Amino acid sequence: QAGKVKLKNVSWAIAGLAMKRTKASLERSELVTNSIPIAIDSSHFHGTVRQAKSEDDPNSWSSPGGEKFMIRGKTYLTDYAKIAGGDPLLKLIAVDWFKVNERFDSVALHPKSLVQSEAAKKIPFILVVNLQVPAKPNYNLVMYYAAEKPVNKDSLLGRFIDGTDAFRDARFKLIPSIVEGYWMVKRAVGTRACLLGKAVTCNYLRQDNFLEIDVDIGSSSVARSIIGLVLGYVTSIVVDLAILVEAKEEKELPEYILGTVRLNRVNPEAAVPI
C-alpha cells in the first residue's frame, strides 16, 4: 500500500512538471503578446527596505522563485493535485516599510510614492500590495510588482484587476512560508494558502497603471494575534510570501505565481515615518 502511495505521488509530480506553465506560455496568456516589453531596472526604484546583497543580509528583501510553493495543477478540480509554482509573472521592484499612527490606505497616491515617479509611470502595470500591520505604532509593509507588458484584459489577471471587489475578495490568495524562525512562529503562520479577502478586510484602488490592495490585518482577531506573535520575533525571522489569483475554473488552471518576496529579519526600528 505504501508503495502504491509513493508511485501515485511520483506520477503526480511527473504530471505536474508536464503541465506547469512556462514563463513564456504564462506571458502569452496573461499579457498582451504583440506589445514591446519595457525594460524594468529595479535599481531605478528605491523603497525604504534595501534589496539583499547576500542571503544573510538583515533587514532586506529578495524575490525567490516560486518552486517551493504548491499551487493548483491542471487537473486540480478532479484529483486535487498540486504542482510546484514556477517563476513569478510580475517582477518585484521595491519594498517599503513604513510606520504610521493610524491605518494608512492608498499609498500609491502619496506624492512621494514610487508609483508616482516618472519611471513608474512608464511601466504598463504595477500591483501594489499594502499589508497593514496593527501595532504601536502601526506598520505598512508595501510591495511593488511590475509587468513588462500590458495585461491582457480577458485573462484571469485582467479580470481580477478590473473586476468587482467581491470577485477580487474571492480570488486574492497568499501563501506564507517561514524559512527561518522559532517553531511556535512556524506553527502559527503555517504554509497553507489563504484567501486574504475572505480572512481580513481588503480595500482596492484601481487607477492609471496600477492596482493597490490594502490588506487590513487588524480587521481579524485571529490574524492580529498571529501578526503580534510574528512581530515579537521578526528580527530573527526569514519569511517567504507568494501571491496569486486563485483559479476556480478548468480553463484557468494550472495556477501561477503572480509575485514572491523574501523578507530577511526585518527590523521594526528601521520603519520610516510617512
The pLDDT value recorded for residue 13 is 52
Q: How many Cα atoms within 13 Å fall on the side-chain side of residue 166?
A: 0
Q: pLDDT (tens digit, 9 = 90+) per residue, 52-109?
A: 988 889 999 999 999 999 999 999 999 999 999 999 999 999 999 999 998 899 999 9
pLDDT average, residue stretch 145-174: 97
Share of the chain above pLDDT 70, in %: 91
Q: pLDDT (tens digit, 9 = 90+) per residue, 174-207?
A: 999 999 988 888 888 888 899 999 999 999 999 9
Is residue 263 very low, low, confident or very high in pLDDT (cuts 50, 70, 90)? Answer: very high
- Residue recorded with cell 490585518: 217
The pLDDT value recorded for residue 240 is 95
On the question of pLDDT at 273 being above 50, the answer is yes
The pLDDT value recorded for residue 3 is 52
On whether the CB atoms of residues 169 and 197 are closer than 8 A, the answer is yes
On the question of pLDDT at 28 being above 80, the answer is no
Is residue 19 very low, low, confident or very high in pLDDT (cuts 50, 70, 90)? Answer: low
Write down the mean pLDDT value for the chain. 90
The CA distance from 195 to 109, in Å, is 26
The CA distance from 228 to 179, in Å, is 18
Is residue 6 very low, low, confident or very high in pLDDT (cuts 50, 70, 90)? Answer: low
The pLDDT value recorded for residue 18 is 46
| Higher local confidence (pLDDT), 231 or 98 | 98
The pLDDT value recorded for residue 21 is 66
The CA distance from 63 to 88, in Å, is 9
Q: How far is CA 5 from CA 1, 9, 10, 12, in A?
A: 6, 6, 9, 11
C-alpha cell at 223: 490574524
Q: pLDDT (tens digit, 9 = 90+) per residue, 112-150?
A: 999 999 999 999 999 999 999 999 899 999 999 999 999
The whole model's pTM is what?
Answer: 0.90
Report how far Cα 232 is from the mean position of its chain's Cα atoms.
Answer: 23
The pLDDT value recorded for residue 133 is 93
Q: Which residues pair with 91 in a beta bridge?
A: 146
On whether the CB atoms of residues 231 and 182 are closer than 8 A, the answer is no
On whether the CB atoms of residues 57 and 238 are closer than 8 A, the answer is no
Q: Which residues pair with 194 in a beta bridge?
A: 174
Q: How many Cα atoms within 13 Å fall on the side-chain side of residue 269?
A: 2
The pLDDT value recorded for residue 44 is 86
On whether the CB atoms of residues 127 and 145 are closer than 8 A, the answer is yes
